[in-house]
Amino acid sequence: MTTPTRDFRDDTPATFYADIAEGGDGATTTYLDHMGDFWHHGRPEHEAAGLSPEQVARKMAEEVVTALGVGAGDLVLDFGSGPGGSTLHMARTSGAHFVGVSNADALNRRARELAAEDGGSRASFLTIDSAAYRDFAFWPDGVLDGATFFESVCHLSDKDKFFQAVYRKLKPGAALVGVDWVQRPYGDLQTPEQIAEYIDPVCEHIRLAGLGTVDSYAEQMRDAGFTVTHAEDLFAGQQCWGSTPEADRENWLNHADTEYNLFALGKNALDNARGTGVFSVGYWIARKPA
């Protein structure tokens, strides 16, 4: 299966926020109101056990940090750290120092508030240029003990360059572990054209650069030099709805920030893709050879 050829956005993950509210603060407030400080999926078995969305996300973050194998004194990159909830949770869990990076300063301000409440020593948050992921030039090569991403690489036009840059910055033997939105064949929807009918609106309204697949991410990681030890569709064989409360849909649809209400457009597109099964979430563990 091929990934979309259309690029729905440029390299600025904050574009969605800027489209909705000047400077991004309005959108950030809306996301925090609806999702809190943890903005990613977790395992469906934890959802089925009745855990809250935050509890499910915390468990996923704990699994990620365990896979990293980092500890006190280690330095870890969390790419696209959002409001910082998972970044700080991983830092607390592991004892390592995490640096969360984002090009949306409104998000980093929230993350820094959380870090200050937590004592301020476990994690720091850096606002970077929208293209900095291609080389992370502010770090020398071979300095990171690990790297993570949570549903952020889907925003990047040059996903391969991200994996290449992270590979260079990691120490030999260090791991990259991540979770991200993906597309896939499901049910009667098997061809790229059929899948694109539902995935393209998600990318357009949520300002993504196109969704990859579990296999395409693994392939790009291997091309960068990684040994991929784990590449999993977290929702294999089932629709990926995420652990969202029943009121979630109405909350998003009733939130009108602009004439075109990008929140509602994005929510509708995502729900349509979830309902057909062609949207899912992948999980990868890749290690730089020692």
Q: What is the pLDDT of residue 54?
A: 87
Is 13:103 a contact under the CB 8 Å cutoff?
yes
Is 44:234 a contact under the CB 8 Å cutoff?
yes
Return the closest-CA partner of residue 115 out of 83, 88, 90: 88
For 217-241, what is the mean pLDDT?
97
Over residues 52-93, the pLDDT tens digits come to 888 999 999 999 999 999 999 999 999 999 888 899 999 999
Over residues 147-186, the pLDDT tens digits come to 999 999 999 999 999 999 999 999 999 999 999 999 999 9
Q: What is the pLDDT of residue 68?
A: 98
* Residue 145 pLDDT > 80: yes
For 272-283, what is the mean pLDDT?
96
Confidence (pTM): 0.87
User: What percentage of the chain has pLDDT greater than the value 70?
Assistant: 79
Return the closest-CA partner of residue 186 out of 177, 195, 178: 195
